[in-house]
Amino acid sequence: MNTVFLDFNTRAKEVNDYFIFLERLEKQTTKLALFDTTGKYQIQSLDPELAKTLKANGFLLLYNLIESTMRNAIESIFEEFKNKAVTFDQLKPEIKLIVLQNLKNRSPKKIYLTINQLSTDIITATFEREELFSGNVDARLIKEIADKYGFSYQTNFTKTKNGQNLVAIKSNRNDLAHGIKSFEEVGRDKTIKQLLEIKEEVIEYLTQILENIRHYLDNEEYLELPTGNP
């Protein structure tokens, strides 16, 4: 999980830096300097239409942070299985089902070529990080994933709103990616102040989800509980 947190912090800083830049442009503590026709710099204030485009870009950055963080987090779970040589039989039933579903979606020949010890290798050999998500990550999906793997999705609502802004970020990202809405349309509905608040909530939400996953791994909550003797 250390590398997951490192990547998350790096990406979160990129997002923070971008929104700080936007805020400074709006407050005119940072100004745009453009060449005029004579080759001289001209200081310009932030154009309202450009501001909408820049705000819309903020949704792309936020969604990139969300999906990359969750992809890395799930991959870290499978890395844990590999590093600790966890066998299929040791896993709790819910995760066995995930492995079997992954196996169903893989080429038997490819699996055969990558497996040496069936009981351990089948877990990681069937995992494909690229297939985890496809522009569909929001708080509802994260809750579903948490239920499947067995880690907590609970966060401090006062700080995170339990990730309720993720669905709007996802929708805006997809509308931009598929050309359904223009950058002007997406960027006009939120002020920079509102975007800063959303950004803070999203980063805090993801931080707490990652902490939940770290607790899950540290306590090996993916293992099936031993059955007591009658």
Cβ distance 91 to 77 under 8 Å? no
170-190: per-residue pLDDT in tens? 999 999 999 999 999 999 989
Q: Residue range 215-229: average pLDDT?
A: 86
Most confidently modeled range among 25-29, 61-65, 226-230:
61-65
Per-residue confidence at 157, pLDDT binned at 50, 70, 90?
very high
Most confidently modeled range among 19-23, 37-41, 68-72, 108-112:
68-72
Contacts of 190 (CB under 8 A, 6+ apart): 55, 198
Cβ distance 152 to 146 under 8 Å? yes
Cβ distance 156 to 25 under 8 Å? no
How far apart are the C-alpha atoms of 135 and 178, rounded to whole Å? 11
Task: Please tell me the pTM assigned to this model.
Answer: 0.88
Flag whether pLDDT at 44 surpasses 70.
no
Angle at 129 between CA 153 and CA 107, to 5 degrees: 125
